[in-house]
A = this chain, B = another copy of it.
Amino acid sequence: MICVVVEHLRFLATLALQKSGVPQADAASQADLLIEAELRGVPSHGLLRLPRVIRRIENGVADPKSRGMHIWRRDAFLEVDGQCGLGPIVANAALDLLMERVVKTGVAVAAIRNSNHIGMLGWYAECVAARGYTIIALSTSEALVHPWGGRKAMLGTNPIAIGVPTGGHPFVMDAATSLVSMGEIHDHALRGVPIPPDWALDAAGNPTTDAAAAKTGSIAPFGKAKGYALGLGFELLVSSLAAAAIGREVTGTLDDTSVCNKGDLFIVVDGPVRDLQQYLQEIRMAAPAEGFAEVLVPGERGRLLREERLRNGVLLAEDLWEQIRELAATDDVPQN
C-alpha cells in the first residue's frame, strides 16, 4: 500500500478523465465521487473504478460528454434518459433541477435510466442534505443477491441512502440491501480467506465458505426475509419508475462493454427543517452494550475517517496507484 495526498489524487484522476474526453468540471465531479469513497473508507466504490470508467468510455458504452436528457413529465416528476452519460454527471444535473423545483412543489422525483454507475449514494445524500433538503436515494445493480429461500441471484444489491438536515452535520445513512458487497467477497478470494457461512451461495445455490466459489454464485440479502422484501421492493420501485432493466437483465456496472441499463431514483423534499442534534447526541452518548465500545450514528465514522485522510492522505494498493499515474500520463494539455 502507498499513501497519497488527496489533492494529488484528485488532480491525477481528473486529468485521466479529461484525457478520455470528459469536460474539466465533469471530470472533477466524477473524480470527487471516487475520492470521497476512498476518504470515507468505502474503497469498493473508490478509485478502483476509475480504470473501468475510462475503459467504458473507450469502448463507447459511456459517453464522456453527455449530461443526459432531463424532461419534466409532470410538475415534480423528472424523467431522465442518461444517454450513456457518466453516473454522477447525469445524477448531479438531475439533483440540481430537483433542488430548484422543490422550492415550489415541496417534493420532486427524478427517475434515471441509461446512465452509468452512480457510485456511493451517500455522497449525493450528504450534498443535498447539506443544502437543507431531505433526500431518499435508490439505485439498482446487476443481479447479485438471491431471494430469501432462493438459490440464484435475481436481485441487485439495491442500496438506499437517506439524508436529513439536522441543524449540524447532515444525517446520512447509506446501505446496500445485500448482506455484504461482492467487493468484500472478491477481497476474501484474493486473500485466500474463507467467508462466513451465511454470506453467500455457490453457483449451484448451496451455502459455501469458499470465497472463490461465491464469486460465481449469489450474495444473501441482509436481514433475511425482511431485507429481501426491502431489496425486492426497491428493485420494482426503481425499475418501474425509471423504465430501467430489472433482475437478471441488468448489465453495465461490473463490465467494460455493456450499456448500463440499471435505474436510479431520487426523492428530494423541501419540508420543515428541524434541530435533531439533541436526539443524535443522546444516541452517541448512550451506554454501549456488552462487546461494543460505543453507540455509533450511521455515517459519522466515515466522516471522521474523511477528516483524518484529508490530513494524512489515502492508502492505495500500489498497482492501482500505478494505473492511475499511467492513465493520467500525457504529453498534451487536455483541450476541453
Contacts and interface: CB of A to CB of B under 8 A. Distances in A.
A15 interface: no
A225 B146 CA distance: 21
Scoring A148, A279, A288 by chain B CB atoms within 10 A of each residue's CB, the highest score goes to A279
A111 B283 CA distance: 24
Given A279-B246, A287-B152, A175 B74 contact: no
A106 interface: yes
Interface string A139-162: 000000011111110100000101
Residue of A74, A104, A148, A165 most packed against chain B (CB within 10 A): A74
Contacts of A274: 239-240, 243
Contacts of A73: 106
A108 B107 contact: yes
Given A223-B223, A230-B175, A272 B240 contact: yes
Interface stretch (A26-34, A184-192, A290-298, A306-314): A290-298
B149 A296 contact: yes
Interface string A50-84: 00000000000000000000000111110000000
A334 interface: no
Interface string A280-292: 0011001111101
Interface residues of A, number: 77
| Most chain B beta carbons < 10 A, residue from A108, A134, A173 | A173
A316 interface: no
A106 B77 contact: yes
Nearest to A268: B107
B233 A226 contact: no
A289 to B, nearest CB: 5
A1 to B, nearest CB: 26
Contacts of A196: none
Given A154-B282, A226-B175, A270 B106 contact: no
A213 to B, nearest CB: 15
Interface string A230-247: 101110110111010011
A154 B269 contact: no
B279 A75 contact: no
Task: Identify which of A205, A228, A237, A289 gathers the most chain B CB atoms within 10 Å of its CB.
Answer: A289
A75 to B, nearest CB: 4
Nearest to A204: B287
Interface of A: 73-77, 102, 104-109, 111, 134, 136, 146-152, 154, 160, 162, 164-166, 171, 173, 175, 201, 205-207, 222-230, 232-234, 236-237, 239-241, 243, 246-247, 267, 269-274, 276, 279, 282-283, 286-290, 292, 294-298
5 contacts: A77-B271, A147-B296, A149-B296, A206-B290, A241-B271
Q: Rank and list the top 10 A-B pairs by shortest CB-CB distance, nearest first.
A: A77-B106, A223-B223, A74-B106, A162-B233, A149-B292, A229-B298, A173-B229, A241-B271, A173-B233, A107-B109
